[in-house]
């Protein structure tokens, strides 16, 4: 088994990169599909993100709120795609964590935390 231990890091790295790749491709595919078939959803998403940016920048003091809003507004499409990818990753990641916990322990109660094996002596 020690022979394959050096490949463990490569395996973990490839799993992470594959997760990143397929979530990005899923969002881009959804954008392409919605652009052709249901563009009103993309309009709703754009307005929701613009409202989020405006309300967030409105909390900043005068010169900085306007500057940041215009800067983020210039990269608006990339901001929307990035937020969609991050949202998908958060939802799928939460599902994966919940699935792993349920499949690992099943319906049986989870094991209790281990008791400490050493005790501290208190000299009085």
Q: What pLDDT is recorded for position 67? A: 92
Structural domain range at position 84: 21-105
Residue 3 inside a domain? The answer is: no
| Res 28: pLDDT | 94
Listed in sequence order, the residues at least 6 apart from 54 whose beta carbon sits closer than 8 Å to its beta carbon are 69
What is the domain count for the chain? 1
Q: pTM (2 decimals)?
A: 0.67
- 58, part of any domain: yes
Q: Determine the Cα angle at 70 with ends 65 and 74, to 5°.
A: 150
Question: CB neighbours of 66 closer than 8 A, spacing ≥ 6?
Answer: 57
Q: What is the C-alpha to C-alpha distance for residues 64 and 12, in angstroms, rounded to an integer?
A: 41
| Contact yes or no for 24/92 (Cβ under 8 A) | no
Decide if pLDDT at 108 tops 60: no
User: For all residues of the chain together, what is the average pLDDT?
Assistant: 83
pLDDT for position 73: 81
Q: What is the pLDDT of residues 41-58, one digit of tens each?
A: 999 998 998 898 899 999
Domain annotation covers residue 11:
no
């Amino acid at each position: 088994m020690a022979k394959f231990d050096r490949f463990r890091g490569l395996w973990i790295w490839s799993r992470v990169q594959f997760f990143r790749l397929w979530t990005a491709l899923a969002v881009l595919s959804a954008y392409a599909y919605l652009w052709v078939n249901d563009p009103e959803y993309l309009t709703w998403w754009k307005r929701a993100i613009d409202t989020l940016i405006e309300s967030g920048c409105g909390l900043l003091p005068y010169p900085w709120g306007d500057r940041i809003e215009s800067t983020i507004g210039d990269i608006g499409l990339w901001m929307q795609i990035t937020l969609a990818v991050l949202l998908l990753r958060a939802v799928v990641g939460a599902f994966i964590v919940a699935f792993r916990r349920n499949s690992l322990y099943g319906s049986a109660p989870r094991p209790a935390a281990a008791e400490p094996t050493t005790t501290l002596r208190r000299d009085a």
